Amino acid sequence: MTNALAGHPPLVRPPLARRLLAEALGGLLLAALVVGSGIAAQQLSPGQVGLQLVENAAATAAGLYAIILMVGPVSGAHLNPVVTAVDAAFGGLPWRDAAAYLPAQAAGCCGGAILANLMFDGPAVSISTHHRASGAHLLAEVVATAGLILLIFSLTRTARAERAPAAVGAYIGAAYWFTSSTSFANPAISLGRMLSDTFAGIAPASVPPFVVAQVVGGLVGYCLVRVLYPLASAGR
């Protein structure tokens, strides 16, 4: 989800405005995917939470693969402030560009949640009442985010970036099941999911501790990459 991963040489990037549009559009599609498939699962399988999670996870895994392919060649398909910050820390993205990515990602994810609500004939905004911030959930977010960062940057630093769309989709789909939090692993999607009181929603009070846990997970992932791949480089 860096430019190298998306097929661009690290020093050759599209104009920033085009990259920001790609990040916003990717975030919008990601949130619409997660929230919309959650609403569909609720409607198609009422009262069957396990089946709803299967449907939501499968749609997210497949859709994320497609979204990364769609916008990756433009922006690198970060779609996630933690990924952007770690990429900047490794020198793959200027910090000034990284700062511009973050609001585009957040706006896109919020817009995608609103779009999903409207597509299923709900109110544009319905604040979630699904409280998730237990100690177990926060630990799960650290693990999910650290694993995501380790996956992405282990691929980019070992010249296997072309495998990232499938690998990231598979990881997130699996992490729906092996983490108690269902693997948000993304501050921008956490903000967006706050705006839908549906299967995939998260209560506003749970968002700040989730974001803190995701940042901690990003730091853990960054350190693991540095330890495991100390001599690797992302083409630099």
**pLDDT tens, residue by residue, 165-220:** 999 999 999 999 999 999 999 999 999 999 999 999 999 999 999 999 999 999 99
11-51 per-position pLDDT tens digit: 578 999 999 999 999 999 999 999 999 999 999 999 999 99
Residue 175 lies in domain: 16-228
Q: What percent of the chain has pLDDT over 90?
A: 91
Amino acid 32: pLDDT: 98
pLDDT at 3: 53
Q: Please give the tally of structural domains in the chain.
A: 1
In a domain, 39, yes or no: yes
Query: 41-68: per-residue pLDDT in tens?
Result: 999 999 999 999 999 999 999 999 999 9
pLDDT band at 4 (very low <50, low <70, confident <90, very high): very low
Domain presence at residue 6: no
Residue pair 193/120 in contact by the 8 Å Cβ criterion? no
CATH number at residue 212: 1.20.1080.10
Q: Look up residue 10 and give its DSSP letter.
A: T
Query: Alpha-carbon distance 67 to 70, whole Å?
Result: 5
Count of residues in the chain: 236
In a domain, 5, yes or no: no
d(CA 83, CA 46): 35
Classify residue 23: in a domain, yes or no. yes
Run of H or E including 3: none
Q: Is residue 11 part of a domain?
A: no
The H or E element spanning position 176 is: helix 164-178
**Residue 191 in domain:** yes
> Chain-wide mean pLDDT for the chain?
93
Helices (H) and strands (E) in the chain, counts: 8, 0
- Tell me how far apart the alpha carbons of residues 105 and 40 are, in angstroms, rounded to a whole number: 24
pLDDT score of 157 more than 70 = yes
| Residue 2 covered by a domain | no
Examine residue 40 and state whether it is found in any structural domain, yes or no: yes
pTM for the structure as a whole: 0.92
